[in-house]
Amino acid sequence: MPALSPDEVLRYLNAKGFLSSAEVELVKTRWNVERDGPLLQWIGKQKLLPEEVAADIIQLLADNRLEGLEPALPGLVLLALAGKGGRGSVYRAWQPSLKRVVAVKILSRELAQNREYLQRFLREAKVASKVSHKNIVRAFDINKHGGNVYLVMEYVAGSSVGDILRQRGKLEPAHAMEIAQSVAEAIAYVSQVGIVHRDIKPDNIMIDRKGRVRLCDLGLARPSGATQLTSPMVAQGTPAYMAPEAAMSPEIDSQADVYSLGVTLFRMLLGRLPFDHSDPVEILRMHIEEEPRGLDGGELPGALSDLIRRMLDKEPRRRPPARELPREIAALIKAIPGLDKSSLWELIEGGEPTLPVPGQPGGLALEPTGELGFVVTQAPPAQKPWEGPPAPAVEARPMPPAAGKLTGVGFGTMALALVLCLLYIVFYTLDGPPEPRPDPEAEKLRAENLELRQQLKSARENQSALSDFMARAGAQWRSDQAELAKLSAREPKRERLDAVLSELDELRALQTASELPGAGD
């Protein structure tokens, strides 16, 4: 396929929903190939599209994949494969209807064809999609098209903690503690609605270019107490980060997430795992039976080692409660010098501080807001290129000085306002601050989670009743077979059919011989 001209590229971007008509006209008036270089790279630099999306489009055009990667999903353009694991593949995708980048996780064929897993997964993913927290990657939607079941999630432009550890080996204590505190806040939040993540590990923790920590894969979590489904879900979680109780029983709670975060914190601070072996089964045995080594070597402050040791306790009840863990980590950060100075954005390629730099010139466009999964990265331009010149500023006239002095009415008004302020302060101090209003969304999530638990309980009761019925039916069948065997033993033994037939043949032969002439002489 011959290379597309700039006009053809712009028509393609407009037809696929990457650029609006106004943005296309802006590019035509501003872009110059000799001065600005290749068109799509310039569009990315000017923030009309995220730079990674512009790079993906360049690759798609080079590969003649104008409709995006396979499989084709309605309302989405798959741009690039971002990762692949045992449960499915993750793609970076463009959602034209909302003009945003999203992450799309397509379940593996094995899981998508497992009816029991799929039905429960759809119900539980709907609950998880309603969870909204600053440190959680939100699941927007879950759908099925053809034979593909896919989850549409918020896209985080940055790197996973796993990738950072593979590059650096370990992290500075200040960086590690800030990451742990953010993840602990996410765990505390989801524990309030009864959801267990079940797979806390560095690869599921993202840091965006602003240095914000986000916990991924919540859309694949399950309510606390939910049992394993079928064989594809036996290895729920990653053995190196799995809590002892998760290795022995599927019915776990948020304390298992606390344990996994403790392993993650151990890995970030010391550059190694507390339990490591080439055999996953041996790793699970070590989680269950052995104590972590390396916390007494003096590499970490004593209080920090004690916290990790408590998080890695074999008994869930002796670990810090999930709801209190963020406060414990925050208190430790304040108590140990140097832990409160962290700039996570420095760990990310292309990272920048959260606060804008004063006087920095704005780009031609803005990324979508944080409500849609992204943040404003630059200040908006003072004047859009397709708008006319701004109207001349009207010179402000100075206000005339106030005439006269403050009257008695003015003094009375001021005195009344002062008395009201004092009364408010007194009552506020005596009664205490007003209690925060309950979060209606959290109550709704609790109700839906309770309904899921009731459904699970009903399914287990039905399964138990069916097992009892099958056991009784089996016992009755065995009893009937034994009775039949006794009756057969009492009956006289009959000759076999072939013996009877042979005797009949002999009788017929004798009768025929007696009827021959001279047979009676």
Helix (H) or strand (E) holding 105, with range, is strand 100-107
The answer to whether 276 is a known catalytic residue is: no
Phi-psi region of 269 (alpha: psi -120 to 50; beta: other; left: phi over 0): alpha
Q: Cα separation of 353 and 351, whole Å? A: 7
Secondary structure (DSSP) of 262-300: HHHHHHHHHSS-SS--SSHHHHHHHHHHPPP-STTSSSS
Looking at 36, 56, 163, 199, which residue is catalytic? Answer: 199
In the numeric block, the tokens 């005596």 are attached to: 430
How many Cα atoms occupy the beta-carbon half-sphere of 33 within 13 Å?
Answer: 5
Q: What's the token pair of residue 208?
A: 């965006």
Q: Cα separation of 190 and 323, whole Å? A: 10
Query: Residue 38: is it exposed, middle or buried by C-beta count within 10 angstroms (0-12/13-18/19+)?
Result: middle
In the numeric block, the tokens 């890995």 are attached to: 267
Helix (H) or strand (E) holding 191, with range, is helix 173-192
* Strand locations in 115-157 (E): 139-145, 148-154
> What are the distances in angstroms from CA 128 to CA 89, 134, 224, 241, 384?
19, 14, 12, 22, 40
Q: Cα separation of 92 and 56, whole Å? A: 9
Question: What one-letter code names the amino acid at 511?
Answer: Q
Catalytic residues: 199
